[in-house]
Amino acid sequence: MLYRLTKIVSAPFLHLLWPTEVTGVEHVPGTGPAILASNHLSVLDSTFLPLVLPRQVRFVAKSEYFTGNPVTATWMRATGQISIDRQSPTAAQDMLDAAAQVLKDGELFGIYPEGTRSPDGRLYRGKVGVAWLALATGAPVIPVGMSGTDAVLPIGASVPKLGRVGVRIGKPLTFTGSETSARDRRRVTDEIMAAIHELSGQEYVSSYAPSRTRSE
């Protein structure tokens, strides 16, 4: 209920300031689990993507978002995001376990296979967690290409600028293979990143995006 209220109140305001062009919403199932795998340009990606969908999307977010700025913390809780301590030695598996439970409950889970925001607007190599999740749960993967959010709120900025945002949603992808096979995980991840690349139109980089510091 709190999520729906937050969306009803905030959506018209956000769309007025940041006109959002959306395509492919029909590819998101009306019920049942699905993984939304998106490129990652800005912290605002987790705001604009849920706003254009009729169903709630849950993301994992670093715990600092829940303990720092009170406005950000309130938004994270209101939109049902999941807090994860990224400094924990088990953070990666904790994230996957939390995501698997979301899918088991029949919900939508959003994930950024690059693992962090792009530092320069290019699309970086995906990490295999998204493949593990798809193969372990059997949930379809829906690729997403975001655009414009990095111009609205660049890395390091605290005040968003006016601008246009684009959200392109692709057709669901289903995969076969074993989550315990490194070859299957890599193959599936690369196929997902190829679909995201086609939607986003970004230049692709065959290496992982550089990790960020806690302050970023």
> What is the reported pLDDT for 215?
42
> What is the reported pLDDT for 214?
47
> Domain boundaries in the chain?
2-205
Indicate the pTM of the whole model: 0.89
pLDDT > 90 in the chain, percent: 62
The CA-to-CA distance between both ends of the chain, in Å, stands at 32
Where residue 6 falls among pLDDT bands split at 50, 70, 90?
Answer: low
Whether 150 and 42 have beta carbons less than 8 Å apart is answered as: yes
Q: How far apart are CA 35 and CA 56, in angstroms?
A: 12
Residue whose C-alpha is closest to residue 103's, from 135, 76, 49, 139: 139
Top-confidence residue, 77 or 182 = 182
For 150-190, the pLDDT digits (tens) are 999 998 888 899 999 999 999 999 999 999 999 999 999 99
> What is the reported pLDDT for 80?
72
Whole-angstrom Cα Rg for the chain? 16
Q: What is the dihedral angle through the alpha carbons of 136, 129, 64, 39, rounded to the nearest 10 degrees?
A: -120
Q: Does domain 2-205 have CATH number 3.40.1130.10?
A: yes
